[in-house]
Homo-oligomer: A and B are copies of this chain.
Amino acid sequence: MKKTIVLLSGGLDSATTLYIAKSKGYEISCLVFDYGQKHRREIEAAKKIARLAKCPFEVITIDFPWKGSSLLDRLMPIPEGKKSPEGIPSTYVPARNTVFLSFALSYAEATGASVIFIGANALDYSGYPDCRPKFYHAFNKLSKVATKCGIENRPIKVETPLIGLKKSEIIALGIKLGVPYKETWSCYEGAKTPCGRCDSCILREKGFAEAGVKDPAL
């Protein structure tokens, strides 16, 4: 059975990605990051989802003391309303997915996993540079030269099964696979209930509406 590392944030994209990896028969280890995000409750969601999927997980605690993002900095508000057509919103965390994938690469190499799954999406997304196909192509090239297994011709490959799907298509696929969307958390704010106004809430609401499904978390 091929081993894989699945990056699990606790949101609906990563939960769907976990179930895609399960449906392909991988032996899965999940990787969860506690990185100072305001919406720390997504970590509890991630743990619960991993347990429901019967997959082991590691929670890595990291610190970005330089912040540089409204997702981390208590002095910067999370933007409300639809994102502007241009520009990258202030919720962008500098080089976050590069950091996350680097840890996944280390985890994969140390445990003999050959694939990393990440639920990045470049269609119904916030415009982050490290969610685009170009970024993952470049990371896969890096993987070949960065690791022992890479230079021994067994490079670890990053897979992004959701990258070209609409949010509604992700949800439709996840429902077929039995993803427990009730347990997922998307809101960027750390409150008890989703704010309904941040980019992540808006994208989620639009996705469920277009899929013609009621959001079971609401």
**Residues on A close to B: CB < 8 A?**
58, 60-69, 88, 92-99, 101-103, 105-111, 129-130, 132, 134-135, 138-139, 141-142, 144-148, 150-151
- The distance from the CB of A78 to the nearest CB of chain B, in whole angstroms, is 17
Contact between B66 and A63 (Cβ–Cβ < 8 Å)? no
Q: State A102–B96 Cα separation when bound (angstroms).
A: 8
Is the pair B94, A106 in contact by a Cβ cutoff of 8 Å? yes
10 pairs, A vs B, C-beta closer than 8 Å = A58-B66, A60-B63, A68-B106, A68-B111, A93-B106, A95-B146, A96-B106, A99-B103, A138-B138, A138-B145
Contact across chains for B135 and A98 when beta carbons are under 8 A apart: no
Of all chain B residues, the one with the shortest Cβ separation from A64 is: B106
The CA-CA distance from A35 to B66 in the complex, in Å, is: 19
How far is it, in angstroms, between the C-alpha of A148 and the C-alpha of B127 when the chains are bound? 10
B64, B108, B138: which contacts A146 (Cβ < 8 A)?
A: B138
Residues A66 and B110 in contact, CB atoms below 8 Å apart: yes
Specify which chain B residues have a CB less than 8 angstroms from the CB of A69 in the assembled complex. 110
- Say what secondary structure dominates the interface of chain A: helix
Given contacts A66-B111, A92-B148, A95-B109, 8 further A-B contacts (CB under 8 A): A60-B62, A60-B65, A67-B110, A94-B110, A130-B147, A135-B142, A135-B145, A139-B146
Supposing A95-B102, A102-B99, A141-B138 touch, asked if A107 and B66 sit within 8 A by C-beta, the answer is yes
B-chain residues with CB within 8 Å of residue A148 when the two chains form the complex: 88, 92, 94, 129
Q: How far is the CA of A68 from the CA of B129 in the complex (A)?
A: 31
Q: Which residues of B contact A135 (CB under 8 A)?
A: 142, 145-146
- Contacts A63-B61, A129-B145: A99 and B106 contacting too (C-beta < 8 A)? yes
In the complex, A96→B107 CA distance in Å? 11
